[in-house]
């Protein structure tokens, strides 16, 4: 284990330097595009946890106590959590978060595994290296092995279980884009074509979710909010820090009004997290770091006018579909579909 700690410590410190420089570039990209993301700062936090965890691991690799290993595990796992929750368009941060998760599990099992507590030889499924690998790759199975092992302390079992449950939930809370794209074609083919009307407010009915709204047509949820897309315009603006190379970049401009949505946490805020954009080829589009006007929190009775979100379209499209999900009072979800001509 001393050799493993030495290797992990060196890798962590070297990797943290690289992540720092990459995170600075991501932060600059966020500032230039005004997309409101804080993935650059999240990257710096992940880099710091990698560096601190590696230093502590190196300093305590010869110690027989558990404090050093558990402290290193805490830093690594915290970094993994920050990376997954705040990665945004900084896709490499998911990789660094997974590495932090892997290193954290190595130190966690080392900290709670009692290799000298019993003369009985552990069975093959109770060995520390196997438990660590399974926890990294598939947390639910890792929980089972943790509780089957007689070498792991009760407190360690409880802590490992809580961490694995949270990690498994995060895996489903952040599905990757390819999983979403798999259902894009069926969603696109089921949509009806709707003519464009001018600034006409439509009150929701029992079949409101089946209607397809057009450019300039207002979707109004009675007593809650209203939303209208006023433009879907192509731009030649390209971000030098963005790795993707979309065929087109479309900027959606929209207005929304808070008619009666109240919350103790934040006022009505409709952004890219509420949109799913599908291009003409049926491919789900990702946000693109272009210069846009950022949406604002909007209290009851107020409007946000001219908010913008940019999307990279993989297929050259003359029309796009936007699926919208907005939560109103009582955390009730409202859905609508827009079909917008790209100008």
Shared domain for 195 and 114, answered yes or no, is no
pLDDT at site 195: 40
Q: Which of 129, 108, 104 is nearest to 54 (CA)?
A: 104
Number of domains making up the chain: 2
Helix (H, G, I), strand (E, B) or coil at 289: coil
Q: Which residues contact 23 (CB under 8 A, 6 or more apart)?
A: 39, 40, 41, 42, 43, 44, 46, 47, 90, 93
Work out whether strand 275-278 and strand 319-327 pair parallel, antiparallel, or are unpaired: antiparallel
pLDDT at site 125: 59
Angle between helices 92-112 and 39-59 (to 10 degrees): 30
pTM passes above 0.85 = no
Shared domain for 128 and 261, answered yes or no, is no
Q: For 61-81, what is each residue's pLDDT tens digit?
A: 777 666 777 888 788 888 888
- Position 248 pLDDT exceeds 90: yes
Query: Residue 191 — pLDDT band, cuts 50, 70, 90?
Result: very low
Distance of CA 104 to the CA centre of its chain: 20
* Residue 239 structural domain: 180-341
The proportion of the chain whose per-residue pLDDT surpasses 90, expressed as a percent, equals 34
Shared domain for 26 and 163, answered yes or no, is yes
Shared domain for 210 and 105, answered yes or no, is no
Helix (H, G, I), strand (E, B) or coil at 309: strand
Q: For 229-245, what is each residue's pLDDT tens digit?
A: 999 999 998 888 888 89
Shared domain for 210 and 257, answered yes or no, is yes
Helix (H, G, I), strand (E, B) or coil at 294: coil
pLDDT at site 218: 95
Shared domain for 170 and 189, answered yes or no, is no
Please give the Cα distance from 204 to 315 (Å, whole number): 32
Cβ neighbours of 173 (radius 10 Å): 9
Shared domain for 107 and 227, answered yes or no, is no
Average pLDDT over residues 306-329: 94
Please give the Cα distance from 280 to 51 (Å, whole number): 45
Shared domain for 187 and 260, answered yes or no, is yes
pLDDT at site 69: 78
Helix (H, G, I), strand (E, B) or coil at 232: strand
Query: Residue 118 — pLDDT band, cuts 50, 70, 90?
Result: low
Shared domain for 132 and 49, answered yes or no, is yes
Contact between 256 and 270 under an 8 Å Cβ cutoff? The reply is yes
Work out whether strand 248-258 and strand 225-234 pair parallel, antiparallel, or are unpaired: antiparallel
Please give the Cα distance from 133 to 147 (Å, whole number): 15
Cβ neighbours of 185 (radius 10 Å): 13
Domain end, chosen from 150, 174, 198, is at 174
Shared domain for 292 and 186, answered yes or no, is yes
CATH number at residue 218: 2.60.40.1240
Domain end, chosen from 174, 194, 221, is at 174
Domain end, chosen from 106, 140, 174, is at 174
């Amino acid at each position: 284990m001393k050799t493993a700690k030495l290797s992990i410590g060196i890798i962590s410190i070297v990797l943290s330097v690289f992540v720092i420089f990459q995170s600075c570039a991501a932060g600059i990209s966020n500032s230039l595009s005004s997309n409101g993301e804080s993935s650059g700062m999240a990257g710096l936090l992940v880099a710091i946890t990698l560096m601190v965890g590696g230093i502590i691991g190196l300093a305590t690799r010869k110690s027989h106590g558990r404090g050093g290993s558990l402290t290193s595990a805490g830093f690594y796992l915290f970094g993994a959590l920050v990376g997954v929750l705040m990665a945004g368009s900084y896709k490499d941060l998911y990789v660094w978060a997974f590495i932090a998760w892997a290193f954290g599990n190595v130190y966690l099992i080392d900290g709670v595994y009692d290799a000298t507590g019993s003369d009985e030889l552990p069975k093959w499924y109770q060995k520390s290296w196997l438990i660590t690998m399974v926890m990294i790759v598939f947390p639910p199975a890792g929980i089972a092995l943790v509780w089957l092992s007689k070498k792991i302390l009760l407190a360690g079992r409880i802590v490992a279980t809580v961490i694995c449950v949270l990690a498994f939930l995060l895996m489903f809370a952040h599905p990757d884009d390819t999983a979403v794209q798999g259902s894009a074609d069926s969603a696109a083919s089921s949509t009806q074509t709707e003519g464009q009307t001018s600034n006409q407010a439509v009150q929701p009915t029992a079949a409101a979710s089946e209607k397809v709204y057009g450019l300039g047509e207002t979707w109004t949820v009675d007593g809650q909010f209203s939303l209208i897309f006023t433009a879907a315009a192509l731009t030649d603006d390209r971000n030098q820090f963005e790795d993707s190379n979309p065929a087109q970049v479309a900027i959606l401009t929209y207005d929304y009004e808070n008619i009666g949505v109240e919350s103790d946490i934040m006022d009505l805020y409709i952004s890219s997290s509420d949109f799913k954009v599908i291009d003409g080829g049926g491919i789900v589009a990702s946000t693109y770091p272009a210069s846009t006007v950022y949406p604002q929190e909007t209290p009851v009775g107020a409007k946000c006018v001219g908010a913008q979100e940019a999307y990279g379209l993989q297929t050259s499209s003359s029309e796009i579909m936007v699926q919208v999900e907005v939560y109103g009072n009582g955390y009730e979800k409202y859905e609508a579909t827009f079909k917008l001509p790209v100008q």
